[in-house]
């Protein structure tokens, strides 16, 4: 019997480690912790991470030998390894799944840590002589002209020339260009930035004074220049001292714009990490960070796991955004992980937002975060004027009033650009039979008690469920009564786009939603079509986040009424943030902006508070209501979800889990036991989705310690419940919604 074994975390939903012998009988020890290793598991092989080493149990069965080491040294070590272990404990999930989440897909598959040589393109002697003969205006000609003065890095070509890779291959085939390794330090020339205004200067001075770990909320009105503060803080705290900066942004669509600005200003290569890249690109960026070569990393949620051997600063832009919360698999919140990493790395964490989450605002008011404010827009820009349009008893065309359409015409005639915001993609939300009342419902999400409508797409030719993705063509006639009177009801972005294109045919009308921007860099491509002339953008919440549209003078917000009456306790916060963010797109340059809020409920308290008092007044009122109701940030929650194909099965599992939680609650001190709520099982707000029946169990406590004590005592044992074999279940600690 061997005296030592490798205890390996595998990417499996099981709360345990698996013991193996070292490959080839190699000696093992603590220095192996964090190394990847390939192991046999049943009839297949898996890639795991060594979580511990130690003596084998006296009664252990014969162990299998690991197949091979995949790294000469630990890939996960130091702070990043400790953060992953903390996250596994906090979320009560297997360590192997957390380790897998922290690694790019290529490394999860066992591929070696990739080479991180900086590559660019250069003209050959033949290419330099052939530039004039290439077709004028074509991409190969544009690329050749960009390379005339010397090699250019690939990331800079990404910013400068759309579709340059196809042109590069064309030049390479003719012997006019070749791919070359270049010096990373010579790839970018820094550009000077504007002098900071008084608010920015005060924020930068406070950051200069910060020592070690310092969580800082930078609350700035839209257009106040928060990104400029990020840039100067990175230059001063990181680049000047050879340290690394990690910048998180909420959406892939924001990344190209942010990358271009950072590369132009900072004078160093800026590495991207987001799901829009292929597996090889993500692995190379992660490897560059791991080796300390990437000084600035910009990415979305998963970039929070980028290694930082030379840490200097972590920035979370638009920290309030819900996309920082992972909603499947390992349900982590990137903002919270960033704060944990900042504390472990002993560096400041800068949380930027015009509309901070109530959790972050509460922490700032309690003194747990420093609070910096930018109260003025940068430059000469002024806050937009906000008007509420009462459309009760008014005729509407595709959901738009004549007063709104007239304002659009005025803005266009003045040479400005217009954003019409509707947070519902598709042509119409419902297809209805005018004769019998039949409506198109999703067969995989509907129940006898609750029909889930399918959204009409493609100008009325296709039905699609936005919950499970089911698609089907629009029927030729009503399935119930055979009538031909099938009519789309309601309004989506496609229908608004159709009306505006017909009404304002003299200007471009562009629709910006997840369907129209599916291609890589699709959002940047669409926005580039507007150029500097007048035009109209029709978009969803994708356009509310961080985009700088200097020619935008009018924002029209339509269809907000459904968000005013949601049962979700966070609905008011989300709607207030969305309205403030989308309104902030207007008037960001020298021209004044205007915002029109079209509604059937002009006297709704939420609208009155936002229009008259702004986000600060809303937050004050909402925090008071949350405290009275015992909701976050004044309580800590965990949501146990279960789903199965058979009705009633999720409830049976959750009842057994509820009994276990209640038994564990009895071991708490009396006061903590009384304050811990175990509610359920209850139907999920959407009781059926994609053919699965769904239910949930809610745990809530004012004390985080009490909640986690109960979770520690129960969660690992849930896997062994007889009912667990019949359901798919997950635990969400600190849920951002109750769905």
- The answer to whether 81 and 73 have CB atoms below 8 angstroms apart is no
Strands 396-397 and 400-401, sheet pairing: antiparallel
Helix 358-365 / helix 605-629 crossing angle, nearest 10 deg = 70
CA distances in angstroms from 198 to 195, 233, 707, listed in the order given: 10, 15, 44
CA 423-427-429 angle, 5° bins: 70
Measured distance CA(17)–CA(10) in Å, rounded? 7
What spatial distance separates the first Cα and last Cα of the chain, rounded to whole Å?
50
**pTM for the structure as a whole:** 0.88
Helix 78-91 / helix 334-345 crossing angle, nearest 10 deg = 140
- What is the domain class of 5-103 according to CATH? alpha beta
User: Of the candidates 588, 560, 527, 506, which has an alpha carbon nearest to the alpha carbon of residue 222?
Assistant: 588
If one looks up domain 385-425+492-627 in CATH, what number appears? 3.40.50.300
CATH number belonging to the domain at 198-374, selected among 2.60.40.2140, 3.40.50.300, 3.40.50.620, 2.60.40.10: 3.40.50.300
pLDDT of residue 186: 46
Helix, strand counts (H, E) of the chain: 21, 32
pLDDT of residue 185: 46
CATH number belonging to the domain at 636-733, selected among 3.40.50.1370, 3.10.620.30, 3.40.309.10, 3.30.70.600: 3.30.70.600
Provide DSSP, 393-433.
T--EETTEEHHHHHHHHHHHHTT-EEEEE-S--SSBSEEEE
Cis peptide before 678 (omega within 30 of 0): no
Q: Per residue in 123-155, is it b (16+ CB within 10 Å) or e — as a string?
A: bbeebeebbeebeeeebbbbbbebbeeebbbbb
Distance of CA 203 to the CA centre of its chain: 26
Measured distance CA(188)–CA(196) in Å, rounded? 23
- What HEC string does 634-649 produce? CCEEEEEEEEECCCCH
Q: Per residue in 637-654, is it b (16+ CB within 10 Å) or e — as a string?
A: bbbbbbbbeeeebbbbbb
pLDDT of residue 523: 62
Q: Match 């819900």 to its residue by tokens.
A: 322
As beta bridge partners, residue 601 has: none
As beta bridge partners, residue 48 has: 37
φ/ψ of 450, rounded to 5, equals: -145, 115
Q: What is the mean pLDDT of each run of 10 residues along the chain (739 residues)?
A: 80 92 83 94 95 79 89 94 97 96 95 86 89 86 88 78 85 90 62 84 90 93 87 93 95 74 85 86 93 93 96 96 92 97 97 95 95 79 80 88 93 90 83 88 87 83 87 91 87 88 90 64 64 83 67 86 78 88 69 85 89 90 92 95 93 95 92 91 87 93 95 93 92 87
Six-digit token string for 444: 């995989």
């Amino acid at each position: 019997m061997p005296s030592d074994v490798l205890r390996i975390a595998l990417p499996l939903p099981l709360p345990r480690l698996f013991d193996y012998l070292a490959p080839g009988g190699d000696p093992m020890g603590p220095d192996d912790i964090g190394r990847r290793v390939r192991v046999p598991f049943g009839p297949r092989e898996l890639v795991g991470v060594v979580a511990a080493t130690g003596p084998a149990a006296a009664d252990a069965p014969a162990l299998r030998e690991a197949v091979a080491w995949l790294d000469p040294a630990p890939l996960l070590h130091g702070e990043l390894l400790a953060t992953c272990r903390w996250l596994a404990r906090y979320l009560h999930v297997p360590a192997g799944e957390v380790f897998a989440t922290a690694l790019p897909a290529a490394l999860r598959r066992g591929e070696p840590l990739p080479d991180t040589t900086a590559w660019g393109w250069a003209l050959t002697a033949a290419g330099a002589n052939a530039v004039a003969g290439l077709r004028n205006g074509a991409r190969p000609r544009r690329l050749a002209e960009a390379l005339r003065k010397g090699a250019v890095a690939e990331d800079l070509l990404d910013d400068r020339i759309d579709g340059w890779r196809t042109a590069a291959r064309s030049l390479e085939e003719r012997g006019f260009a070749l791919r070359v390794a270049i010096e990373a330090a010579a790839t970018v020339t820094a550009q000077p930035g504007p002098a900071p205004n008084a608010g920015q200067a005060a924020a930068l001075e406070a950051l200069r004074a910060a020592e070690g770990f310092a969580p800082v909320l930078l609350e700035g009105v839209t257009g106040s220049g928060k990104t400029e503060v990020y840039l100067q803080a990175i230059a001063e705290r990181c680049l000047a001292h050879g340290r690394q900066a990690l910048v998180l942004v909420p959406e892939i669509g924001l990344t190209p714009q942010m990358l271009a600005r950072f590369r132009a200003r900072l004078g160093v290569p800026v590495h991207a990490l987001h799901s829009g890249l292929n597996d090889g690109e993500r692995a190379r960026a992660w490897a560059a960070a791991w080796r300390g070569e990437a000084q600035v990393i910009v990415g979305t949620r998963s970039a929070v796991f980028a290694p930082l051997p030379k840490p200097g600063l972590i920035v979370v832009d638009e920290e309030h955004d819900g996309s920082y919360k992972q909603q499947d698999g390992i349900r982590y919140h990137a903002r919270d992980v960033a704060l944990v990493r900042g504390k472990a790395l002993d560096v400041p964490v800068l949380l930027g937002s015009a509309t901070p989450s109530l959790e972050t605002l509460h922490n700032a008011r309690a003194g747990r975060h420093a609070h910096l404010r930018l109260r003025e827009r940068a430059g000469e820009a002024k806050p937009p004027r906000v008007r509420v349009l009462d459309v009760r008893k008014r005729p509407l065309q595709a959901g738009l009033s004549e007063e709104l359409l007239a304002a659009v015409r005025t803005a266009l005639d003045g040479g400005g650009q217009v954003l019409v915001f509707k947070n519902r993609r598709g042509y119409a939300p419902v297809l209805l039979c005018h004769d019998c009342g039949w409506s198109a419902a999703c067969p995989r999400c509907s129940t006898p008690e609750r029909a889930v409508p399918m959204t009409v797409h493609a100008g009325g030719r296709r039905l699609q469920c936005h919950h499970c993705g089911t698609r089907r063509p629009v029927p030729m006639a009503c399935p119930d009564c055979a009538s031909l009177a099938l009519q789309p009801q309601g309004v989506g972005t496609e229908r608004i786009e159709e009306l505006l294109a017909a009404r304002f045919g003299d200007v471009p009308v562009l629709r910006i939603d997840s369907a129209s921007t599916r291609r890589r860099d699709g959002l940047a491509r669409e926005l580039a079509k507007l150029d500097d002339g007048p035009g109209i953008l029709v978009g969803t919440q994708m356009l509310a986040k961080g985009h700088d549209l200097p020619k935008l003078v009018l924002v029209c917000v339509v269809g907000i009424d459904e968000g005013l009456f949601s049962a979700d306790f966070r609905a008011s916060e989300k709607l207030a943030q969305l309205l403030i963010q989308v309104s902030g797109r207007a008037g960001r340059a020298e021209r004044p902006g205007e915002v029109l809020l079209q509604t059937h409920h002009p006297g709704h308290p939420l609208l009155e508070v936002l229009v008259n008092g702004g986000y600060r007044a809303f937050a004050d009122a909402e925090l008071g209501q949350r405290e009275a109701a015992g909701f976050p940030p004044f309580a800590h929650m965990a949501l146990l979800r279960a789903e199965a194909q058979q009705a009633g099965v999720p409830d049976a599992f959750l009842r057994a889990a509820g009994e276990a939680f209640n038994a564990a609650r009895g071991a708490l001190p009396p006061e903590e036991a009384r304050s811990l709520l175990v509610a359920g099982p209850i139907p999920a707000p959407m009781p059926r989705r994609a053919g699965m029946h769904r239910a949930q169990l809610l745990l809530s406590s004012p004390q985080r310690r009490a909640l986690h004590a109960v979770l520690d005592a129960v969660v690992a044992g849930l896997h062994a419940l007889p009912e667990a074999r019949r359901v798919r279940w997950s635990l969400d600690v600190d849920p951002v919604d109750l769905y």
